[in-house]
Structure 1
Amino acid sequence: MLTERLSALLRDPSTGEIRAQLQPLFDELVGSDRPQNAITWLQRPPGHGPALLRQMATGEVAISHGTFARLPMTRGRNYLRDLLVALEVLEPYEPLIERIEPWLQQRRVGLNDVHRQTIEQFARWVVLRRLRTAAEHGTLTKAMAEGARQRLNRAIDLLAWLEHEHTTILELTQPRLELYLADQPPSVLHAFITWLNRTGINDRILVKNPSPTTANVTMGDADRWRHVGALLHDDSVLLYTRIIGLFMLIFAQPLTRACSLRTDQIRATDPGPVFVTFHNTAVEMPEPLGELIRQQLTRRGKASYASRDNGWLFPGGIPGRPMATENVRGHLVALGIAPHQARHAALFALSAEVPHMILAQTLGISLSAARTWAALASRDWGAYIAART
């Protein structure tokens, strides 16, 4: 039944055969060990994904990212787009970034020409550029994308307020800006105002720099090792949650980077140790963590399709994508492990034992961050010595 339905859906009317570009999709769905999932997907309303596939098969629309970009975003269309990328029908793209652009086009409706141009330039040269840099380094998260939308929202709110006041961003004065900011924190507009000043669009306005974040530790070493012990030995916890949590608690890996590890960063021999390259240096894993990683290497992802050979150590529920950080964060928090605190506790402990240059090269943190943590660890050690004398 599935084969017949898919054949009818993906048939090119000009040839009577499956449209060539969509053959990988046909093969994947028909060859799946979960055929009922495909049947359910084809039947589930409102059917945006199957309807779009039919248009692609007939040539009514192009099989391209541009087609998806011109359509309203729905869960079905987004899933189909990710699946086509995972099957190499479409070239790779970064959904967290790509989905901001059509949202912004809708959000800026109503602004005058000057303000539309201003927000587009700010989005392109500041907000989206930062997201793309994070994506290139494998550190882009859903929270970062949401933060980007918030910065754009606040900037658009300011521009709309100026139009209501019958003025423009070019004429905005410092007193009027401070009046606008009287009932909200200046930090929400810091990036936008700083960019306006730096580019000369309006160099008469300023906002105070946000308070810098400092290295701090709120998880004690005893709690850290208690969590390590639980994750090493509690088989009731999901395997990927255990490994990712241990990468944070022992090797101070950010949640995003841990979730995005690839299998080619793992070197495993059986018998023999397991090595993981977090940045530039292969690190030997202690047992039984090494054995947990060996088990993970044999697991397939949660996605119904295209989750077998995508290269992720932790393949996620979306075809071709790694495990979502929000998924793992929720599991860890439910276990009483706050990811941010766990990583800081590990950084603090490692900084007291490993020279900061080696720490930076091994863990993939900046030299300045490594120096900051080394200074914090040495301050604590000095206080300990003073307390003992």
Structure 2
Amino acid sequence: MCAGAESIFACRECGREDHPYGSRHCARCVLRERLTDLLTDPRTGRIHHRLQPVFEELIASDRPQNGVWWLRKKPGTGPRLLAQMACGAVEISHDTFRALPSDRSHDYLRSLLVAVGVLTPIDLRIERMHPWLEETVAGLSTQDAALIRRFAHWRVLRSMRRTARENHLTRGMADAARRRIRMAIGFLVFLDTHGSCPATATQDLLERYHAHVGRSLNHEYAFIAWLRECRINTRLTVPDVKRPPPEVTVSDAQRWDAVEHLLHDATLRRYTRIAGLFTVLFAQPLSRIVAMRTDRITLTDDGVDVAFHAIPIRMPPVLDDLIREHLAHRATRPETDHGWLFPGRIPGHHLATENIRAQLVAIEIKPYEHRKAALFGLAGDMPAPVLAELIGITDRNAAAWAALAARDWTGYIADRAR
């Protein structure tokens, strides 16, 4: 209402003006109507009891317009499958999805059902590995295929599950897992062409394979180590090649230029600025940043504290304001955030690392290189034990960076005790 006149933007049903959609109704009311039609069980005339959480999640979303678009007049794969579940045509279970293609539409709906508690928790990156594995070993002999399956399940997938439980599994890690399996297959094929097998392979054959592929055997180390652990072949060894120290390719001046850019460029997305500053100032990897929860942030009258590891760190000016603004925006729809500091597009999931990385690279900030520069700078400013506690790296890693920064903190503990 303005000066007693009825607003032309007000919804005819709820009277709100914040999400206009068409000339009569707001997007949230349109979404409510269409979702009700989609999820109603014809046997009861009500929304299917198991899909009620889906209804509530989508209705409470930040932008109901996106939900309306998803349920457009010619609904896509996800809405059609939801309608089939609502009327009982297909079962609401993970088995239904396992029988369907693992594409973006099916994965989105499956993630939504997991996020709202309709389906049990599952990591799609691990789930996708199973059909991929079967396709990959299809051309191998029965014996080799069985060996690769054992390696995949007991070494590769086991490691992925452990990382997923810590909420650190990324797309890059999943790609690396596939690469280990493909490399193991490549080694088996090489052995077969030379009349050998994993149990009879010699060190000479392994070294000839190394020369054949023309790269470090570190790529095949996981498979060779597994063969030794299982006592399939204890004769094979991979030389322990000492890694060279990391190269810091970003200068101190370039690092602080990046800080200034992220602090003051209002054209960038706020979450990109915050995540970039966490990397450039506090050497946090993007995989850890996107998995942060809001309980790691403490707001006080004096400032904003962020706990990357054991000890909270007081944020500098401007960054603290950005974090406050970000949390205030998230607080408008807390039921859709699921506790993530950076909630992603898929309900129940945090933002993907690739989302932020691409935006930072577009402004010539390379997260990996700038993180190394931050580690180098921080290691020169504080003792290794303090650095490890503050930013969440191991004592050994902190000591290595301190050595690279040419700072000797060996007397720190004794000095602190005095």
Q: TM-score range by the shorter chain?
A: 0.7 to 0.9
Task: Give the counterpart of 2:260 among 217, 225, 229.
Answer: 229
Deviation at 1:306, TM superposition (A): 9.1
1:58-97 mapped onto 2 (5 Å cutoff):
58-97=87-126
Greater displacement, 206-215 / 349-358: 206-215
CA-based RMSD of the aligned residues comes to 2.7
Q: Kindly indicate whether residue 257 of structure 2 is the aligned counterpart of residue 257 of structure 1.
A: no
Aligned to 1:368: 396
Report the count of equivalent residues: 377
The change in CA–CA distance for 1:193 and 1:90 in structure 2 (over 3 A counts) is: same
- Are the counterparts in 1 of residues 402 and 408 from structure 2 also a CA contact under 8 Å? no
Greater displacement, 47-56 / 14-23: 47-56
Distance in 1, Cα, partners of 2:405 & 2:31: 61
- Are the counterparts in 2 of residues 240 and 296 from structure 1 also a CA contact under 8 Å? yes
Specify the code of the residue in structure 1 equivalent to 2:202: T
TM-score normalised by length of structure 2: 0.81
Greater displacement, 81-90 / 206-215: 206-215
Aligned to 1:101: 130
The change in CA–CA distance for 1:249 and 1:146 in structure 2 (over 3 A counts) is: same
Specify the code of the residue in structure 2 equivalent to 1:372: A
The change in CA–CA distance for 1:53 and 1:153 in structure 2 (over 3 A counts) is: same
Deviation at 1:5, TM superposition (A): 4.3
Distance in 2, Cα, partners of 1:31 & 1:222: 45
3-state DSSP class of the match of 1:90?
coil
1:285-364 mapped onto 2 (5 Å cutoff):
285-300=315-330, 308-364=336-392
Distance in 1, Cα, partners of 2:402 & 2:268: 33
The change in CA–CA distance for 1:173 and 1:55 in structure 2 (over 3 A counts) is: farther
- Are the counterparts in 2 of residues 24 and 89 from structure 1 also a CA contact under 8 Å? yes
Deviation at 1:173, TM superposition (A): 3.5
Task: Give the counterpart of 2:230 among 189, 195, 199.
Answer: 199
Aligned to 1:243: 274
TM-score normalised by length of structure 1: 0.87
3-state DSSP class of the match of 2:346?
coil
Deviation at 1:215, TM superposition (A): 3.4
Distance in 2, Cα, partners of 1:364 & 1:235: 30
Once the two structures are superposed, residues 174-225 of structure 1 have per-residue CA deviations (whole angstroms, 9 ceiling, x without a partner) of 4444444433123332211221123211223333445525233222212211
Query: Which protein has the larger Cα radius of gyration, Structure 1 or Structure 2?
Result: 2
The change in CA–CA distance for 1:187 and 1:64 in structure 2 (over 3 A counts) is: same
Once the two structures are superposed, residues 214-248 of structure 1 have per-residue CA deviations (whole angstroms, 9 ceiling, x without a partner) of 23322221221121112111212221111111111
Distance in 1, Cα, partners of 2:305 & 2:365: 25
1:25-64 mapped onto 2 (5 Å cutoff):
25-32=54-61, 34-43=63-72, 47-64=76-93
Specify the code of the residue in structure 2 equivalent to 1:106: E
Distance in 2, Cα, partners of 1:300 & 1:315: 9
Deviation at 1:148, TM superposition (A): 0.8
Distance in 2, Cα, partners of 1:210 & 1:299: 49
Deviation at 1:267, TM superposition (A): 0.5
- In structure 2, runs of 5+ residues without a counterpart are 1-29, 410-418
Higher relative contact order at CA 8 Å, sep ≥6: structure 1 or structure 2?
Answer: 1
